[in-house]
Structures are given as C-alpha cells and as structure tokens.
Amino acid sequence: MKILLPPSETKRAGGTGSPLDLAALSLPALLAERRAVVRALIDLAADEDASRRVLKLSAAQVSEVAHNRELLSSATMPAADRYTGVLYDALDAATLPSAGRRWLASHVWIHSAPFGPVGALDRIPAYRLAAGAALPGVRALRRHWAEATSAAIAAEAPSFILDLRSEAYVSLGPVPPSVSSAYVRVVTETGRALNHFNKRSKGLLVRTLAEQRPRVRSVRALRSWAESQGIVLRDSTDEGVLELVVDD
C-alpha cells in the first residue's frame, strides 16, 4: 500500500540535512519536472515584488521569498518533519518509534507543489509554493505535473493507494486507473463533511497505521484492519470513495 498525503502551507524552518538532491527523491522519473519548477521558483525569488504577487504573500510573509531563493543551498529535513499544521501535528512523525518512521518511508508519499510526490522521509528544504500558483516560465502546475505524476505512480505499480490529498493536489497527479485506489472523505455519522477534523483525522489515521504497520494490499484489507482498530471506514455513494466517520 501507498498513502498519498497533501502538504501543508506551514513548515518548520532550518534543518540539518545536506542541500536538496532532486535526483535522490522518490519517484525519480519526475526529475525533469522537478528541475523545471525549482528553477522557476529560484528565478522568481530574484524579484521580491513579483514573488509576493505570484505567491500571494502578505508583507509579514515576505521573508519566505528567501526560502525559494535558497532552494538548492539551504539545509533539509525529512518531509514528514518539515510540514506542520493540523494534519502533521496529529501525525507527529518525530515521536514515532524507528519502526514507525521506516514504515512511513516505505508507504507514504507527500504531494508537494515544487517536487511532486516525495517520500515521507525524503529530505526537502523549506519553500513557498501552493498548488494553484502560476509560475512564470512554467505551464500551469496542473498541466505541468498531472500526466507525468500519474505515469510515475503507474510505473511504481503499488498494489493499492489510499488517497488522502485535497482536490487541489489530486489535480496535480491523479491516481492512474491501472492502480487500485480509494479516496478518503472525512464525515460525521450523518454524512456531513468536515474541515478542521478532516485534516486531524487523516493525520491520526496515518499515525495509527505507522504504529500498527498492517499488511494492506486492497481496500478490503484496509477496511478489515480499520474495523479491528475501531475506525469506521465505509463506502460512499461516490464510486472509489471511502468515508472516514468521526464524531461531530
């Protein structure tokens, strides 16, 4: 099984790892696409005013332009540790035991805008780029990434993908039809979709998987494991969608 997670707009600064090595990231077939976006971000960062417009930064956020300027020279840290916010606070990857972190490395991709999907423990720098940004010199990110990312996922041929991404990041790389998958929507018992609890519940789900490390190769196996943990995953009326049911 592979799990696809969205990134977070908020990130930890700093790091102790060597500078970004694009060729060392998971899904190496995406190297050309990664190089193009990284170069465009670095070029954009040379113009602070243009960066603010394109990246929709407030005056208080202008320091983030420096992160993009230094993409190839700044320190890195594992992606699962880089991201913060509701989902990643619930996952709390830094406190997982070594076996749990190894499980993340083997089973989780985090779908970033500048690098595409990366392994949970792939080392990345701090950056600023959202899925909807329009970078000068690069096609719209959806067109730049979608076909190449879907092809790269297909080439990896995972037995099953659990897709926990937001719709914006799904558009940057839909799961190919050749791969069995399920998209997760977080709802209440009455079917009401949630926002804040959506992210928190997804983070807790991945943490529990990393702690338990079940062998899951199909949606049926996933639902069986979830039932054993008291986690409610039910079919939706929408094909290919699972509903993760949480308390209101």
* Per-residue pLDDT of the chain in tens (248 residues, 90 and over written 9): 999 999 999 999 999 999 999 999 999 999 999 999 999 999 999 999 999 999 999 988 998 999 999 999 999 999 999 999 999 999 999 999 999 999 999 999 999 999 999 999 999 999 999 999 999 999 999 999 999 999 999 999 999 999 999 999 999 999 999 999 999 999 988 777 666 689 999 999 999 999 999 999 999 999 999 999 999 999 999 999 999 999 86
Contacts of 243 by beta carbon, 8 Å cutoff, 6+ apart? 184, 185, 186, 187, 191, 233, 234, 235, 236
Which of 64, 82, 62 is CA-nearest to residue 20?
Answer: 82
The answer to whether the CB of 16 falls within 8 A of the CB of 77 is yes
Scanning the structure block, which residue is given the tokens 């699972």? 242
**Residues 97, 102, 103, 107: is their CA dihedral positive or negative?**
positive
- CA 212 from chain center: how many Å? 21
Q: Residue ranges of the domains in the chain?
A: 2-245
Q: What is the pLDDT of residue 159?
A: 96
Exposed e or buried b for every residue in 227-248, given b needs 16+ CB within 10 A? eeeebebeeeeeeeebbbbbee
Radius of gyration in angstroms for the set of CA atoms belonging to the chain, rounded to a whole number: 18
Q: Are 135 and 40 in contact (CB under 8 A)?
A: yes
d(CA 212, CA 232): 16
Structure tokens at 186: 């977080």
pLDDT at site 67: 96
The kind and range of the H/E element at 73 are none
Q: Directed axis angle between helix 31-45 and helix 48-55, to 10°?
A: 120
Residue 194, pLDDT score: 66
Predicted structure pTM score: 0.96
